[in-house]
Amino acid sequence: MCTRVIWPDANGSVLVGRNMDFHKDLMTNLWKQPRGVKRDDGVEGELTWTSKYGSVIAAAFDIISVDGLNEAGLAGHVLWLAESTYGTYDGSRTALSQAIWLQYFLDNFATVADAVAWVEETDVQVVQMDDPTGGTPPTIHLALDDATGDSAIIEYIDGHPKVYHDPSYRVMTNSPTSTSSSSWSRRSVDSAATNPCRVPPSPPIDSPARRTTSNVSPSRTPSSRPSPRSSASSVTPRNPSASRTRANRMRRRPSGRRSRI
């Protein structure tokens, strides 16, 4: 199961982690997306823009951006959601291909609030792409988070976006939808936990819940300074060939439609 989690109060920083549990190799590569790149919606080309923010993204099959972070601190994460229904393409609505969905937010917005405002204003339609391996077309939802710890989950049900926007949405997994997850949580957990995506804040580091007391007497407390030998032995030399391999991967340039991620 794919999962995205946020730790918004990590000693003054916001930490976000995700895993990608999938039944096949997604041929993931990392790409640097600079400012000033012109793109379109990947559908009919009606929506065009020039990227305002640079970003680093992880791409599946070098076609779709599935994870990324832009220079303003906005990040996005694509996960599978089998219940997604995108509706029939409507040419009168603003639309984005699934392949460019996340990248649009990374290119244009610095905060979750700005991204959510645009979704609610445009009622943007997400258009399903074909599975590049010939399997089931992707059914996905999107999590956004930013440098302030704000968070949003965007899902498509009956062809329209359902937005769950609140900093307390710290966890997103796969099925069911966030609405169904909320109902299940209220039935099965304490009434205070009204959504499995909502996680109570950690207790302060100096609270009784986080403090521990040592039974070691002061006279027997070991020195906190490591010996020179133990310090040196703990250093793992860097593998220069691995670094060169990573650098070579980053220098590869996509061709054709791949350059539009």
pLDDT tens digits, 100-158? 999 999 999 999 999 999 999 999 999 999 988 888 899 999 999 999 999 999 999 99
Whole-model pTM over 0.85: no
Q: What percent of the chain has pLDDT over 70?
A: 67
Task: Quickly tell me which residue has 């000693």 as its tokens.
Answer: 11
Q: Which of 23, 132, 151, 141 is nearest to 83 (CA)?
A: 141
> Which residue in the list 2, 43, 66, 152 is annotated as catalytic?
2
160-208: per-residue pLDDT in tens? 999 999 999 999 987 767 655 443 343 334 433 434 344 444 444 454 4
- Total count of residues recorded for the chain: 261
pLDDT at 144: 98
Residues 79 and 196: their CA atoms lie apart, in Å, by 16
Please say if 197 is a catalytic residue.
no
DSSP code at position 165: E
Superfamily holding 3-205+243-260: Penicillin V Acylase; Chain A (3.60.60.10)
User: What does the DSSP assignment read for 108-124?
Assistant: H-SSHHHHHHHHHHHTP
Burial class from Cβ neighbours inside 10 Å (0-12, 13-18, 19+) for residue 210 reads exposed
Quickly list H helices, the chain.
Answer: 98-108, 112-122, 178-188, 228-233, 240-251
Residue 123: both structure tokens together: 């009622």
210-225: per-residue pLDDT in tens? 444 334 344 444 444 4
